[in-house]
Amino acid sequence: MYGGYIIYDGTKYEQKEINSTRKDINYISIPMQKITKEMGTAEVMVNNIALGASVALLSYDLEVMKTAVKGVFKKKGLKIIENNIRALEAGYRYVRERSKVKAYELEIVKPANRLLVTGNDAVFLAAVRAGCKFYPAYPMTPASSILHSFAAVEDEFNIVTKHAEDEIAVINMAIGASFAGARSMVATSGGGFSLMAEGLGSAAMTETPLVVILCQRPAPATGLPTWTEQGDMLFAINASHGEFLRIVMAPGDPEECFYLTGKAFHLAEKKGEFRP
C-alpha cells in the first residue's frame, strides 16, 4: 500500500509512540543516532540520513541528490560536504539493503513544453517582457526572489537593479527613474508597502507611472515572513492620503501574474486617460 511512509529514528522512538490509525502507512525505523555515532559525525547529520532514506523510497537518483548536497554546503568546506554525503549514503543504503518496504516507483513523465514558475517568477518575466529598465528594491519576503531574478539578468537585458537602504528610498528612486522616462517597478510586502504609502501619493501628484507589486504576508506588523495571505487588498485600494486613481489588480495564479503585470505597466502609463 502506498498511502505514505513515516521514517523515524529507531534509536529514540518506538513505533507505538507514533502509530497512526491509518492502515496504509508504512513505518520505517532507522537507528539514525547510532549511525551518526558509528560514522563519527555530528548528530545533526540525522537529517541527511532521513533524506537518503527518502531518496531510496522514491527510487530517485542518489547522484543527483549528492550534487544538490554539494551545492548547499559548498561554502562549508570539503569535510562538511563529505560528512553530509556519507550520511546521505547511509540512509539510502539502509532502506535499500535492510528495509522490507517496497520503494515507490515514480512514473517518468515525458517533457512538456511548459514552464514551472512561481507567481514571483511570472511577475519578473512579465516585467522584463514589458520593458522594465529600473528595479530598486529592499529585500522583504515573500518579494525578495524578484530582486534576485533581476540581479541575475541585469547585464543581459540592460536593466538597472538597485539594492536600496529602505523602502522609502526604493519608491522614490522608482518615481525619479519613471519621471525621467524609464519603465520602473518595485516589489515589497505589507510592512514595506506601509513605508511606501507617502511615495505613492507623490507619484499621483506628479502623474508619474509606477508599478508596485505587493507580495502579501500574514500580518499585522512583522507578521509571518515565510507565509502568504490575501489580507492587504483594502490597504492597497486606499493606500496613501488624498483622492487619486489607484488601479489594483489581484492575480490568482502564476499565469495571471504574468499577464496582469504586463497590463499594469500599460495602465500605469495610460492612467491619465481614466481621469474625469
Q: How long, in residues, is the chain?
A: 276
CATH 3.40.50.970 residue spans of the chain: 119-274
**pTM for this one?**
0.66
Residue % of the chain over a pLDDT of 70: 94
- Domain 119-274 belongs to what architecture? 3-Layer(aba) Sandwich (3.40)
Which residue in 35, 53, 55 sits closest to 44, CA to CA? 35
Q: Answer whether residue 134 shows pLDDT above 70.
A: yes
Q: In whole angstroms, give the CA distance from residue 242 to residue 262.
A: 27
For residue 202, give every residue at least 6 positions away whose Cβ sits within 8 Å of its Cβ, in sequence order, or none: 172, 175, 208
Q: In whole angstroms, give the CA distance from residue 46 to residue 63.
A: 19
Question: What is the pLDDT confidence band of residue 268, given thresholds at 50, 70 and 90?
Answer: very high
Q: Answer whether residue 116 shows pLDDT above 90.
A: no
Cell of 246: 489607484
What is the reported pLDDT for 273?
Answer: 52
Cell of 266: 500599460
What is the reported pLDDT for 98?
Answer: 81
For residue 226, give every residue at least 6 positions away whose Cβ sits within 8 Å of its Cβ, in sequence order, or none: 141, 142
Q: Answer whether residue 250 shows pLDDT above 90.
A: yes
Q: Answer whether residue 2 shows pLDDT above 60.
A: no
Q: Are 174 and 134 in contact (CB under 8 A)?
A: yes
Chain-wide mean pLDDT for the chain? 90
Question: What is the pLDDT confidence band of residue 1, given thresholds at 50, 70 and 90?
Answer: very low
Task: Assign 27 to helix, strand or coil.
Answer: strand
Question: How remote is the C-alpha of 258 from its chain's centroid?
Answer: 16
The string of DSSP letters for 154-181 reads TTTTT-EEEE-SSHHHHHHHHHHHHHTT
Which residues of the chain form beta strands (DSSP E)?
A: 4-9, 25-30, 134-137, 160-163, 185-188, 211-214
